[in-house]
Amino acid sequence: MNTPTIKSVSSGYRLKQSLDVIVPQLVLFLYMLIALFPIFMIIINSFKSRDAIFRAPFSIPNPETFSLIGYNTVFSRANFLTYFINSFTVTGLSLILALWLGSMAAYALSEYRFKGNALLGLYLSFGIMIPIRLGTVSILRIMVSLNLVNTLAGLILIYIAQALPMTIFILSQFMRQVPKELKDAARIDGANEYYIYWLVLPLVRPALGAIGIFTMIPIWNDLWFPLIVAPSTKTATITLGVQQFLGQYVSDWNAVLSSLTLAMVPILLVYIIFSRQMIGSITAGALK
């Protein structure tokens, strides 16, 4: 580079550099408004009187317009508590069982060389890309014959099956990286294979966490299987419950806005608490 012009180059460079920061910041900020605005509108209006919702939709609730009438309707008319408990039960149990069964299978596939290992891996990975929904006609028939229609157990079995292929695929990759020496040392000490599985499990904890979070969201948010396999009021999950409640109270704006806010809050809280681990786990390449 020639020395005399270095000053002008660097000032032009500085201008360009600050533009390189300002333009992205501006675009990101604008897109953030687009992403948050609809959610924000629902939440602020859920705390207003019906009149204020229509008269001044954009303003934040003040003492004059503040009202909890929507929440009163929701709590007195809908079984939100039941729906929440159902969703927690279904999501929690599906998650734990999918991780447990999946980690055992992943351990077997990654640890032992036996005839048909590769074929089994292929068989299990078939479900990664093919959506389980396409088997719904048959799933419903199975549920009817097993007496599992309108039970949470039926939903849980479906969600375990849905989560297993991805869980096994990712976990077996992680388990292959666990050093052989560790397992062999335990074997020399006389540990049996089940004990060694327990030994390996904590070593892949980050992967278990990441898979857990990414399995949880689609299960919690699913509408299809609750609608088809467990639509009764007793077994409705929060997603289905909200969908049905909104269908009935579509003209009661206060109730609609409040129930939407209530349905969003738990998942938003979980997301805010775990977002760093969640996004961190993808960006760290944990889910490649």
Partner 1 sequence: MDQKTKRKPFPAHIIVFLAPALLVYSVFMVFPLLDSLRLSLFSITDSGQENFVAFSNFTTLLTNPDYSIRFWGALRNNLVFFIINMLVQNPLGLLLASLLVTGGFGRKFYRTVLFLPTVLSVVIIGFIWNLILNPLWGVTSGMMKFVGLGAFFRPWLGLEGSALITVSLISVWQFIGIPMILFYTALIGISEELIEAARVDGANGWEIFWKIKFPLILPTVGVVSILTFVGNFNAFDLIYTMKGALAGPNFSTDVMGTLFFRTFFGQQLQLGNPSMGATVATMMFIIILTGVLIYTFLWQRRIQTYEM
Helical segments of 66-201, H only: 69-77, 80-111, 117-129, 136-145, 152-176, 180-188, 193-200
Site for partner 1 contains 12 (CB under 8 A): no
User: Which listed range, 59-67, 68-76, 131-139, 198-206, lies at the site for partner 1 (CB under 8 A)?
Assistant: 131-139
Question: Are the beta carbons of 155 and 90 closer than 8 angstroms?
Answer: yes
**The two structure tokens encoding residue 204:** 């892949």
Among 6, 9, 32, 182, binds partner 1 (CB under 8 A): 32
Between 136 and 173, whose beta carbon lies closer to partner 1?
136
User: Which listed range, 4-12, 66-74, 77-85, 136-144, lies at the site for partner 1 (CB under 8 A)?
Assistant: 136-144
Task: Give, as ranges, the residues between 81 and 120 that touch partner 1 (CB under 8 A).
Answer: 101-102, 104-105, 107-109, 112-114, 120
Whole-angstrom Cα distance, residue 264 to residue 2? 60
* 178-216 per-residue burial string, b: 16 or more CB within 10 A, e: under 16: beeeebeebeeeeeeeeebbeebbeebeebbbbbbbbbb
State in angstroms the smallest separation of the CB of 135 from partner 1: 3
Task: Give, as ranges, the residues between 51 and 70 that touch partner 1 (CB under 8 A).
Answer: 53-54, 57-58
Site for partner 1 contains 145 (CB under 8 A): no
Which distant-in-sequence residues (6+ apart) come within 8 Å of 98 by Cβ? 159, 160, 163, 164, 167, 215
Site for partner 1 contains 80 (CB under 8 A): no
State in angstroms the smallest separation of the CB of 52 from partner 1: 12
Taking Cα atoms as reference points, which of 14, 42, 13 lies closest to residue 265?
A: 42
State in angstroms the smallest separation of the CB of 7 from partner 1: 19
Among 8, 64, 134, 145, binds partner 1 (CB under 8 A): 134
Site for partner 1 contains 242 (CB under 8 A): yes
